[in-house]
Structure 1
Amino acid sequence: MSTKQGQVVAHGAFQLFSERRRGEVSELLIDVFGRGDVTALGADWRGIVYFTLDDDPELDADTVVGFDPSSGSSGPLTSVDEVLEAVRTGDIAEAVDAASFDAWRTATGQRSIDMGDCVPPALHEFMGGDPAERSTETQDLVTFIAVAAALMGRLEELGVQPGDEIPDEVFDESRWG
């Protein structure tokens, strides 16, 4: 992908990154996953990021991987060509649940979201949140990913297991500063 301009589909339900945004998100994902072969492609309104891995022995270089920072889950989805075709036809909107996005837009009075923004869950899923309960405000995607990764790292470092109560130490900035 060599496009310099990004593309927004269905009022921001899906965003094919511009060259600059692709670089920013790729750099962050390289840090999150601890590997240097990540190339961001785009993201959807929920904050799910789509990327490729250039040097993975188990995946073709054109396989698009999805990563949901709110749940921490990731996995292969489709090919780059299929994503680009779905963007071209507008079919990507259905794949990223544009109907729920439209309901959110109606409920909040938002006409669209800007390139690089997302609508995160009110509480991260890995912290017990419901992915259907969305924030009423948009958030910068890079910030959303970074905060989710930091919180997940803190939980892991403290040994918190799924179902455990979230200790206050997770939010103590002096401990993690």
Structure 2
Amino acid sequence: MTTKQGQVVASGAFQLFGQRKREQVSELLTDVFGRDDVEALGADWRGIVYFTVADDEEISDDSVLGFDASSGDSGELATVEEVLAAVRSGEIAEAVDVASFDAWRDATGTHTIDMGACVPPTLYEFLGGDPAERSTETEDLVTFIAVAAALMGRLEQLGVQPGDEIPDEVFDDERWRDG
């Protein structure tokens, strides 16, 4: 990917990153996944990030993976060429649930969302939230992913398993400050 400028599809339903945003999100994903071969490609309005990895024996270099910070899920979705073709044709909008995005825009009176913004669930899915219940405000994508990663890390450190009650310690910022 060599584009300097990004591209927004369907009023922000999908965002193909330009160089600056690609570098910023790639750096964050490098930290989240603990690997240095991650390159962000874009994101959708739900905060799902689309990226590639270069040094993986099981995943082709041209495979696009998706990472949903709200659920913690990730997996292979398509090839880079398929994603770029879907962006060019506008079909990417259907793949990222543009109907729900349009319903959210109508409900909130929002015309478009900016590059690097997303509409997160009101509560992260891994904390018991419903992905259909979306915030009424957009959030910075990098902040959304960073907070999700921090909360997941806290849950991991506390040994919280799926189905366990979420302890208040997870949200105690004093406990987690580097010091």
TM-score, with normalisation over the residues of structure 2?
A: 0.98
Partner of 1:45: 45
**Greater than 4 Å deviation, 4+ residue runs:** none
Is the counterpart of residue 107 in structure 1 residue 116 in structure 2? Answer: no
SS of the residue aligned with 1:52?
Answer: strand
CA distance in 2, matches of 1:5, 1:33: 26
Superposed CA deviations along residues 19-70 of structure 1, whole A, max 9, x for unmatched, are 0000000000000000000000000000000000011111110100000000
Q: Which amino acid aligns with 1:134?
A: R
SS in 2 for 1:40: strand
CA distance in 2, matches of 1:59, 1:165: 35
Counterpart of 1:72?
72
Give the alignment's Cα RMSD to 1 decimal.
0.4
Task: List gaps (5 residues or longer) in structure 1.
Answer: none
Q: Which sections of structure 2, spanning at least 5 residues, go unmatched?
A: none
Q: Which residue of 2 aligns with 1:34?
A: 34
Q: Please give the secondary structure, in 1, of the residue aligned with 2:21.
A: helix
Structure 1 partner of 2:59: 59
CA distance in 2, matches of 1:118, 1:51: 16
Match of 1:149 in 2: 149
Q: Identity, % of aligned pairs?
A: 77
- Write the distance in 2 (CA, Å) between the matches of 1:104 and 1:139: 14
1:98 Cα deviation from its structure 2 partner: 0.4
The equivalent residue for 2:18 is: 18
Query: What is the deviation of 1:88?
Result: 0.2
Matched with 1:158 is: 158
**Match of residue 119 from structure 1:** 119
CA–CA distance in structure 2, aligned partners of residues 115 and 18 of structure 1: 9
1:163 Cα deviation (Å)? 1.3
Shift of residue 162, structure 1, vs aligned partner = 1.1
